[in-house]
Chain A
Amino acid sequence: MKLNLRVWRQRGADAPGAMATYEVDNISADMSFLEMLDTLNEELILRGEDPVAFDHDCREGICGACSLVINGDAHGPERTTTCQLHMRSFADGDTIDIEPWRASAFPVIKDLVVDRSAFDRIIQAGGYISAPTGAAPEAHAAPVPKPDADFAFEHAECIGCGACVAACPNGSAMLFTSAKVNHLNVLPQGAPERETRVLDMVATMDAEGFGGCTLTGECATACPKGIPLPSIAAMNRQWLRANRKVRR
């Protein structure tokens, strides 16, 4: 199929950017969205032009590297990552708008690549557990009730792609932060830092310049891993509890 692409081009972090129009032909419906962009980049390189920069890594939907807003939707029209989006979701002759994640906490580095290291700093603030080094402990030493294990696993699915921030009209990172807090706070392994984790991760989230949550629900709709919106309420519950328990 033949497609018209309108792609955000920006030479560097401080350079002004604009949408540029490209035409790509001979696109197979079985190609992934990123393979379609690879096709475009091959043509651009042959023509001696600068290829479009975009983040990608595993291309199997588990690393969270790909990050494109396609026709106004983070990761495009299907509920999956951009790398797992296939061209069969589009029709011949379509015009597709491709933009980077937009949030002041995620500055554009080049074209469609943004700096998501703010997420790393939120993780550094508390997204870990205190574990003794040495041999792995016996698996049955710390019993975990099944509902807690399921809850933890549901939140552990977050791959930190940042689609929640990109979709949120306030550029808020509440869904990401809540996934990480809930994942560890519900487990006995995460118990020693239960209060400091949520307080420090929320404080870092705010310091990184993410917006506040207005419960629009756009984040949970965009999330390729299906982190549910009530996660945010669960983190708020943890945050209020920590405020009662911890002296500053």
Chain B
Amino acid sequence: MALATRTDNGSAVRKPPPKRSFWGSTVGKKVVMAVSGLLMLGYLVAHVMGNLKVFFGPAEFNEYGHWLRTMGAPVLHQEWALWIVRVVLLAAVVAHAVSAYQLSKRDIKARPKKYVHQRKRASYATRTMRWGGIIVALFIVWHILDLTTLTVNENAQPGRPYENVVATFSTWYGNVIYITAMLAIGLHIRHGFWSAAQTLGVGSASRDRALKAIANGLALVLTAGFIAVPVAVMTGVVS
């Protein structure tokens, strides 16, 4: 309810509504974030299942690693399926990051003046979405240099993923970077999955508890699944 209104900018004159647009709208950008986020989440589920094969020994894990390159054969040529996955994932990361950047810029501009009396707002997972996202993005760069291109992985042997995983988690920094990033991913999924459901219009009062439970379950299972590998290497279960 507006009692006093500005009189100097012609606000009393009724203007036509602004142009409707999908990408130009905050809701549209959120939809792009939700869809790209869910795509990446789906990939993580497949990824963690592959990772856990490390517990069945070097032969099975390395065989799985080689299958990733011949996936889709004989319809697709060597590594084609892998490259399709990579391109789709890269597009999802770029779409997710660009919309996050534009929305964050807008959000900060919409609240330029902070309250003098501050209090803690929202849950930890919610408040750390932006920094958590940046941490995860930096981790992905390191992760690719470490286990795909093997650039930063000392003692790496091309074509032997099992040995390379053991080599990575035999260094203290390898473990610290990985476990920190996985905790960040867990928090990001916890708020992100539930938010995506709201943005895509799936959320409702009756589904809220179920959606929150799925979000927490996914976050917990993925984080625990990923962290199980460095813990196993550290404790000598995998060597």
Contacts and interface: CB of A to CB of B under 8 A. Distances in A.
A200 B203 contact: no
A188 interface: no
B175 interface: no
Contact of A113 (B4, B19, B113): B4
Contact of A120 (B2, B108, B122): B2
B4 A212 contact: no
A206 B11 contact: no
A21 to B, nearest CB: 12
The listed residue with most A CB atoms (<10 A of its CB), out of B29, B106, B115, is B115
A204 B24 CA distance: 12
Given A124-B14, A206-B18, A215 B126 contact: yes
Interface string A28-56: 00000000000000000000000000010
B208 A230 contact: yes
A218 B121 contact: yes
Interface string B196-239: 01111111110010000000000000000000000000000000
Contact of B204 (A105, A172, A204, A230): A230
A203 to B, nearest CB: 5
A64 B199 CA distance: 28
A148 B106 CA distance: 35
B1 A203 contact: no
A169 B118 CA distance: 11
B128 to A, nearest CB: 12
Nearest to B6: A115
Given A55-B3, A109-B4, A206-B24, A212 B106 contact: yes
A214 B126 contact: yes
Query: Which interface residue of B2, B14, B30 has the most chain A CB atoms within 10 A?
Result: B2
Given A57-B3, A210-B110, A213-B26, A99 B117 contact: yes
B106 A207 contact: no
Contact of A169 (B21, B107, B195, B199): B107
Nearest to A170: B107
B107 A120 contact: no
Given A104-B111, A218-B122, A120 B17 contact: no
A200 B22 CA distance: 12
A239 B27 contact: yes
B208 A204 contact: no
Given A102-B114, A169-B122, 9 more contacts: A117-B2, A119-B2, A202-B27, A203-B18, A213-B30, A214-B129, A234-B201, A236-B30, A246-B20
Interface of B: 1-6, 11, 14-15, 17-22, 24-31, 103, 106-119, 121-122, 126-127, 129, 191, 194-195, 197-205, 208
Interface of A: 6, 8, 19, 55, 57, 63-65, 69, 71-73, 97, 99, 102-105, 107, 109, 113, 115-121, 124-126, 159-161, 168-172, 199-207, 209-218, 228, 230, 232-234, 236-241, 243, 246, 248
